[in-house]
Amino acid sequence: MGLFSFGKSNTSASRNLNWSKIETIESLQKALAGSNKTPALFFKHSTRCSISSMALNRFEKEWGESNNCDIYFIDLIANRDVSNTLSEVANVQHQSPQVMLIKNGKAVYNASHSAIDAEEIKTNL
């Protein structure tokens, strides 16, 4: 992938990790309800932003395969309503790119841009 290919495709998320895409408010609500049993990590990604693409690539390289949480991908350009709902429910100001770790329906960790750190997220699991 070249420097100018960042942001051109939203398929990188499905290639590198086993993301569950959240495209409706109903699927978001289901994922949030599931956080009562298994922590849920949401990655809000702007497919038009090179910084977001770089943060996503870095996160995917650092995350690894097995972690004890469900991981969800939100394309905030295509699903702005879902992204906004997550921010409202979690009571976390919207950023892009952004990760939110939800346990028992509550945000226990969030970060954006270059502060997204897979190892720090793992310590909050």
pLDDT of residue 59: 93
Q: What is the pLDDT of residue 66?
A: 65
CATH no. for residue 98? 3.40.30.10
Query: Residue 119's domain spans which residues?
Result: 14-123
Task: Report yes or no: 82 and 28 within 8 Å, Cβ to Cβ.
Answer: yes
Residue 5 is assigned to a structural domain of this protein: no
pLDDT in tens, 7-39: 444 444 444 788 999 999 999 999 999 999 999
Q: Which residues of the chain have pLDDT under 50?
A: 1-15
pLDDT attached to residue 67: 76
Cα(20)–Cα(23) distance, integer angstroms: 10
Residue 6 counted as domain residue: no
The pLDDT score that the predictor gives to residue 10 is 45
Answering whether pTM is above 0.75, one says: yes
21 in a domain, yes or no? yes
